[in-house]
Amino acid sequence: MEIIKFKDSDIKDTVSLFYETVHSVNAQDYSQAQLDAWAPKEEKDTKIQTWKDSLNQNITYVAKINDKVVGFSDLTFGGHLDRLYVHKDYQGKGIASALVDMLESEAKNLKLLEIDTEASITAKPFFESRGYKVVCSQTVERMGTKLTNYQMVKKI
């Protein structure tokens, strides 16, 4: 596995990975209606452009195995870990940890004092195992559907 900086050529694979991951891995904790609101298939094409812009503005890494994108994560320059997704077939192989290690290292280089994130029910145990603490649970609404997630923070 290699962890490299995000390039524009990674965008289609990155967005596809997001949709596949949400609709498979997160299905253990969210209903089909919630998954459809979180990652609506009809938004895929527009997400390619909007995410390309935001991923380029953030500190973004992709994990690749044999040139295939198997995970990605990004951090704003203010310390918000925005996205962290690992391909459904590569869960539990240390990819998320490797990505977050890179982002935490970047945060230290930027002299940030903490990183915050909004973790899904599915991702919460992963972040807790890395020392992130729950600030509060929250309900967000997407397309009229309510989803629970957790505001979490880690001092670095």
DSSP 94-135: SHHHHHHHHHHHHHHHTT-SEEEEEEETTTHHHHHHTT-EEE
- Any idea where the domains of the chain sit in the sequence? 2-112
**pTM of the shown model:** 0.95
pLDDT band at residue 45 under the 50/70/90 scheme: confident
- Looking at residue 75, what is its pLDDT? 98
pLDDT above 90 (res 152):
yes
Provide Rg for the chain, Cα atoms.
15
- pLDDT, tens only, 70-124: 999 999 999 999 999 999 999 999 999 999 999 999 999 999 999 999 999 999 9
- For residues 27-45, give the mean pLDDT: 94
Fold of 2-112: Aminopeptidase (3.40.630)
- CA triplet 76, 145, 51: central angle to 5 degrees? 30
| Distances 35 to 19, 61, 74 between C-alpha atoms, Å | 9, 24, 21
pLDDT band at residue 125 under the 50/70/90 scheme: very high
In this structure, of 54-58, 111-115, 126-130, 139-143, the range with the lowest mean pLDDT score is: 139-143
- For residues 33-53, give the mean pLDDT: 93
Q: What is the percentage of the chain residues whose pLDDT exceeds 70?
A: 100
